Amino acid sequence: MINNLKITAALIRRSRPDFQFKAFNDSPITPLNKPLQECKLAIITTGGIHLKSDIPFYMKEPGGDCSYRTIPYDIEDNAFRVSHKWYNHKFINSDINCVFPIDRMREYARKGVIGALSEKHYSFMGHIYETGPLVKNVKKVGDRLKKLNVDIAFLTPT
């Protein structure tokens, strides 16, 4: 795996010579302090999803666009767009759930597997070289999720 990592980093440095992966030795842990059946869940994706009415993620930002978009829980299949040029959109355009599993989570909420689905979910465009602004915006999303009384965030890359 170390070799894979070195190869990947070398590939990224072709377009971004100063790039280094962010690495930490610790893991912050927030224990789940109640049963899953009582928890409110939000999805966070780095798939660059947004509503058609939103401003698209900006693909020409040198360090990567670190902003985020809010996705309502009742988003319909034909109401979203993807602004993310580093993956093939044919899969998500065929089934949003292979990136943003909103239908599955609605089912789990309906069946009582989880307590509730958040009214709001969040999307970033994950092709980011400069992560400082990302961290600042993630903290804002964390504050928003706390205000929504969300207990769990389920995250997907692309």
Partner 1 sequence: MLCNQSVGLIARYIEKSGISTVCTTFRKEITELSGAPRIISVKTSAGKPLGKPGDIKMQRRIIEAGFDLLQRNIDKMTIVAINK
Q: Which residues bind partner 1 (CB under 8 A)?
A: 1-2, 4-5, 8, 11-12, 21-32, 36, 44, 46-47, 64, 86-92, 94-95, 97-99, 101, 104-105, 108, 113-114, 124, 126-129, 131, 134-135, 138-139, 141-143, 145-146, 150-158
Distances (CA, A) of 98 to 48, 90, 126, 157: 14, 11, 16, 10
In terms of Cα–Cα distance, which of 104, 122, 123, 100 is closest to 113? 104
Rounded-to-integer distance, Cα 47 and Cα 122, Å: 10
Tell me how far, at minimum, the Cβ of 74 lies from partner 1, in Å: 19
> Is the dihedral angle over the CA atoms 119, 88, 58, 66 positive or is it negative?
positive
- By C-beta, is 4 or 53 nearer to partner 1? 4
As measured in angstroms, the least distance from the Cβ of 127 to partner 1 is 5
Q: Closest approach of Cβ 18 to partner 1, in Å?
A: 14
Is 39 exposed, middle or buried, given 0-12, 13-18 or 19+ CB atoms closer than 10 A? Answer: middle
Smallest distance from partner 1 to CB 124, Å: 6
